[in-house]
Structure 1
Amino acid sequence: MHYDTIIIGAGSMGMAAGYYLAKEGKTVLLIDANRPPHQKGSHHGETRIIRYAYGEGHAYVPLLLKAKQLWEEVEKESEMELFLQTGVLNIGSETSLFMKEVKTSAEKYQLPLDVYTHETVNSKWKALQLDDGMVAYHEPTSGVLKCEDCIEAYRRLSLSHGAKIVTDSEITDLSIIEGIVNIATKDGHYSGDSLIVSAGAGTNSILHYLDLQLPLYPIRKTFAWYKAQEDVYEAKQFPAFTCETPLGHYYGFPSIDGSGLKLGRHDGVVQKIENKQEVQPFNEEDEKELATFLARYFTEKTNLQVGKTCMYTMTPDEHFIIDRHPQYENVAIAAGFSGHGFKFSSVVGHVLSELIRGKTSSVDISPFTIERFAELKR
Structure 2
Amino acid sequence: MVLVAAAPRVFLSSSLISGPLWTKQLGQRKFFLPHSRGSSHGQSRIIRRAYPEDFYTQMMDECYQIWAQLEQETGTQLYRQTGLLLLGMKENPELKTMQATLSRQGIEHQCLSSEELKQRFPNIQLTRGEVGLLDKFGGVLYADHALRALQDAIRQLGGIVRDGEKVMEIKPGLPVLVKTTSESYRAENLIITAGPWTNQLLRPLGIELPLQTLRINVCYWREKVPGSYGVSQAFPCFMGLGFSLAPHPIYGLPSREYPGLMKVCYHHGNNADPEERDCPSAFSDIQDVQILSCFVRDHLPDLQPEPAIKEHCMYTNTPDEHFILDRHPKYDNIVIGAGFSGHGFKLSPVVGKILYELSMKLTPCYDLTPFRIGRFPGIGKAHF
- Could you tell me which residue of structure 1 aligns to residue 369 of structure 2? 366
- Per the alignment, residue 39 of structure 1 pairs with 36
Asked if the contact 1:118/1:132 (under 8 Å) is kept, the reply is: no
Q: Which residue of 2 aligns with 1:266?
A: 267
Does residue 296 of structure 2 align to residue 294 of structure 1? yes
Matches within 5 A, 1:60-139: 60-139=56-135
Separation in 2, partners of 1:150, 1:293: 30
- For residue 251 of structure 1, report the CA deviation from its aligned partner: 0.1
Q: Which residue of structure 1 lines up, in the alignment, with residue 215 of structure 2?
A: 220
The aligned amino acid for 1:106 is L
Deviation, 1:115, is 0.5
Q: Name the structure 1 match of 2:277.
A: 278
CA contact 1:17–1:348 (8 Å) conserved in 2: no
Most deviating of 152-161 and 355-364:
355-364
Residue identity in the other structure for 1:252: G
Unaligned runs of 5+ in 2: 16-21
Distance 1:341 1:161 in 2: 24
Change (3 A) 1:280 1:238: farther
CA 1:208/1:283 → structure 2, altered by over 3 Å: closer, same or farther?
closer
- Retained in 1: the 8 A contact 2:322–2:339? yes
User: Are residues 10 and 276 of structure 1, via their aligned partners in 2, closer, same or farther at CA, if it must alter by over 3 Å?
Assistant: closer
Q: CA distance change for structure 1 residues 10 and 273 in 2, over 3 Å: closer, same or farther? A: closer
Q: 1:312 aligns with which of 310, 315, 328?
A: 315
Q: How far is 1:350 from its partner?
A: 1.5
Q: Which residue of 2 aligns with 1:166?
A: 162
Map Cα deviations across residues 307-356 of structure 1 (whole Å, 9 max, x no partner).
Answer: 11111101111111011111122111110011111111111011111221
Q: Give the alignment's TM-score, normalised by structure 1.
A: 0.91
Structure 1 pair 233–265 and aligned structure 2 pair: CA distance change class (3 A) = same
Q: Mean Cα displacement is larger for which, 222-231 or 338-347? A: 222-231
SS at match of 2:213: strand
The answer for unaligned runs of 5 or more in structure 1 is none
1:8 aligns with 2:8: no
For residues 14 and 68 of structure 2, the distance between their equivalents in structure 1, rounded to whole angstroms, comes to 18
Amino acid at match of 2:307: L
Q: TM-score, normalised to structure 2's length?
A: 0.89
1:256 counterpart letter in structure 2? R
| Separation (CA, whole Å) in 2 of partners of 1:153 and 1:262 | 23
- Structure 1 residue 209 corresponds to structure 2 residue 241: no
Greater Cα shift, 34-43 or 299-308: 299-308
- Of 222, 244, 247, the residue aligned with 2:245 is 247
Indicate whether 1:199 and 2:156 are aligned.
no
Question: For the structure 1 residues 108 and 168, does the alpha-carbon distance in structure 2 shift closer, same or farther, using more than 3 Å as the test?
Answer: same
Contact 1:36 1:151 in 2 (8 A): no
2:183 equivalent among 161, 181, 188: 188
Contact kept? 1:194, 1:356, Cα under 8 Å: yes
Which amino acid is the alignment partner of residue 147 of structure 2? I
1:271-312, CA deviations, whole angstroms, 9 ceiling, x for partnerless residues?
A: 211373234559665543322111111221436331111111
The 8 Å contact of residues 322 and 371 in structure 2, kept in 1 or not, is answered as yes
* 3-state SS of 2:107 partner: coil
Q: CA deviation at 1:58?
A: 2.4
Please say if residues 11 and 151 of structure 1, whose CA atoms lie closer than 8 Å, have aligned partners that are also in contact. no
CA contact (8 A) 1:230 1:255 kept: no
Superposed structure 1 runs of 4+ greater than 6 Å apart: none
Instruction: Measure how far apart 1:197 and its partner are.
Output: 0.3
Which of 335, 341, 345 is the aligned partner of 1:342?
345
Letter in 2 for 1:100: K
1:21 Cα deviation from its structure 2 partner: 5.0
Match of 2:18 in 1: none
Contact 2:227 2:260 in 1 (8 A): no
Q: Which residue identity does 1:17 align to in structure 2? A: F
CA contact (8 A) 2:199 2:208 kept: yes
Distance 2:77 2:99 in 1: 29
Q: Is the 8 A contact 1:218 1:311 kept in 2?
A: yes
**Aligned-partner SS, 1:138:** strand
Secondary structure, in 3 states, of the residue corresponding to 1:59?
A: helix
Cα separation, 2, equivalents of 1:175 and 1:62: 37
Q: Alpha carbons of 1:115 and 1:201: their partners in 2 closer, same or farther (altered >3 Å)?
A: same
AA of the residue aligned to 2:252: G
> Does 2:140 align with 1:144?
yes
Cα distance change, pair 26–242 in 1 and its aligned pair in 2 (3 A): farther
189-198 or 205-214: bigger deviation = 205-214
Give the paired residue count.
Answer: 365
CA distance in 2 between counterparts of 1:100 and 1:365 reads 25
Q: Distance in 2 between matches of 1:164 and 1:190?
A: 13
Aligned CA-pair RMSD: 2.0
